[in-house]
C-alpha cells in the first residue's frame, strides 16, 4: 500500500510498551487496527478491535475479524539476562517460543490474509544483542537470532507481495524493561552506555515500525534495522 492510504493492520502484543505505541500511531494515521494481547485493551472505537488471546500458546487466526491484512507486527518478547552457567533449558526454550515460534505460528495462521492485500508488510522484533555481542544475553540473543533468520527467509519466500523486516532495539523504556530502569541511578547508567546518552522511547520504535508497515517503505524488505542509540556501531 502507499504511504497515504488507509489500511487494516494487526498488532500482536498491543496492551503495553512498543505494541501500544504502534497501535496508537496507526490509529492516529487513520488505519484500522486489530490488537491482540493476553489482557485486552478497554478502548471502544469503530476503527479498533481488541482481542484477548495468547498468541504464544496458540496460533492466532484473524480471518474472522478481517477480510485482509495490509500489515502485521509481532511484538511479544522477553528479557532474560544470565551468565552462560545460569542458562536453563526450559528458559531458553521459553525465550524461543515467545520470540520466534510465536511469530512463526502467527504468520502461518495469517498468511492468507496478508496475501489478499495487493501488497502487505510484516514487522518483527530482534535485539541489538544479536549483531553486537553482549554478556549475559545468551538465551535472548539465540531466540532473537532466530527472528532475524526468519525475517530474511520470509522476505525471500514471500516477495514480491509481502515485505518482511525487523527492528533490533537496544534497551527501551517499556514495562518489560522496568526492572533495569527502576531507579534514577539505573536509568542514568543505562543512558550513559549509549552514545546518544538516552534509552529508547516506545514512540521512537513505533515510528520506525509504522514506517515499515504503512509509511511508504515499499522498496524495503529483508532488512534488520538497529534502533539502539548508537551502542551497536559507534563508541564515544
| Structure-block grid coordinates of residue 75 | 511484538
Contact predicate 27/44, CB 8 Å: no
Residues 6+ away with beta carbon under 8 Å from 211: 217
| pLDDT at position 191 | 87
| pLDDT at position 51 | 97
Residue in 16, 28, 30, 31 with CA at minimum distance from that of residue 77: 16
Where in the chain are the domains? 8-219
For CA atoms 12, 14, 20, 25, the dihedral sign is: positive
| 82 exposure class (CB count in 10 Å sphere: 0-12, 13-18, 19+) | middle
Q: Which CATH architecture has domain 8-219?
A: 3-Layer(aba) Sandwich (3.40)
Q: pLDDT tens across 75-91, in order?
A: 999 999 999 999 999 99
32-37 β-sheet, strand order: 48-52, 32-37, 8-12, 71-74, 120-125, 162-169, 224-227
* Per-residue tens of pLDDT for the chain, all 236 residues: 655 678 999 999 999 999 999 999 999 999 999 999 999 999 889 999 999 999 999 999 999 999 999 999 999 999 999 999 999 999 999 999 999 999 999 999 999 999 999 999 999 999 999 999 999 999 999 999 999 999 999 999 999 999 999 999 999 888 888 888 888 898 998 888 898 999 989 999 999 999 999 988 999 999 999 999 999 988 77
| pLDDT at position 175 | 85
Q: What is the DSSP string of 14-59?
A: -SSHHHHHHHHHHHHTT-EEEEEESS-----BTTEEEEE--TTTS-
| pLDDT at position 143 | 97
Residue in 81, 98, 73, 68 with CA at minimum distance from that of residue 5: 68
Q: pLDDT tens across 59-74, in order?
A: 999 999 999 999 999 9
| pLDDT at position 112 | 98
Residues 6+ away with beta carbon under 8 Å from 76: 12, 13, 55, 56, 98, 99, 102
pTM over 0.85: yes
235: left (phi over 0), alpha (psi -120 to 50) or beta: beta
Amino acid at each position: 500500500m502507499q504511504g497515504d492510504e488507509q489500511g487494516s493492520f494487526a498488532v500482536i502484543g498491543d496492551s503495553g510498551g512498543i505494541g501500544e505505541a504502534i497501535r496508537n500511531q496507526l490509529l492516529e494515521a487513520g488505519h484500522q487496527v486489530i490488537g491482540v494481547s493476553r489482557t485486552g485493551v478497554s478502548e471502544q472505537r469503530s476503527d479498533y478491535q481488541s482481542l484477548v488471546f495468547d498468541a504464544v500458546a496458540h496460533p492466532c487466526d484473524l480471518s474472522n475479524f478481517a477480510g485482509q491484512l495490509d500489515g502485521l507486527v509481532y511484538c511479544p518478547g522477553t528479557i532474560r539476562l544470565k551468565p552462560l552457567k545460569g542458562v536453563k533449558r526450559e528458559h531458553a526454550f521459553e525465550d524461543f517460543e515467545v520470540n520466534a515460534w510465536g511469530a512463526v505460528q502467527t504468520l502461518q495462521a495469517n498468511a492468507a490474509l496478508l496475501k489478499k492485500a495487493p501488497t502487505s508488510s510484516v514487522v518483527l522484533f530482534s535485539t541489538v544483542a544479536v549483531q553486537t555481542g553482549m554478556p549475559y544475553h545468551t538465551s535472548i540473543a539465540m531466540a532473537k537470532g532466530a527472528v532475524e533468520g526468519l525475517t530474511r527467509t520470509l522476505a525471500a519466500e514471500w516477495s514480491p507481495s509481502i515485505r518482511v523486516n525487523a527492528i533490533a532495539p537496544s534497551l527501551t523504556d517499556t514495562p518489560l524493561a522496568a526492572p533495569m530502569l527502576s531507579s534514577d541511578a539505573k536509568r542514568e547508567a543505562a543512558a550513559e552506555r549509549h552514545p546518544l546518552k538516552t534509552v529508547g522511547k516506545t514512540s521512537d520504535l513505533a515510528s520506525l515500525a509504522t514506517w515499515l508497515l504503512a509509511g511508504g517503505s515499499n522498496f524495503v524488505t529483508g532488512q534488520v534495522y538497529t534502533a539502539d542509540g548508537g551502542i551497536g556501531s559507534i563508541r564515544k
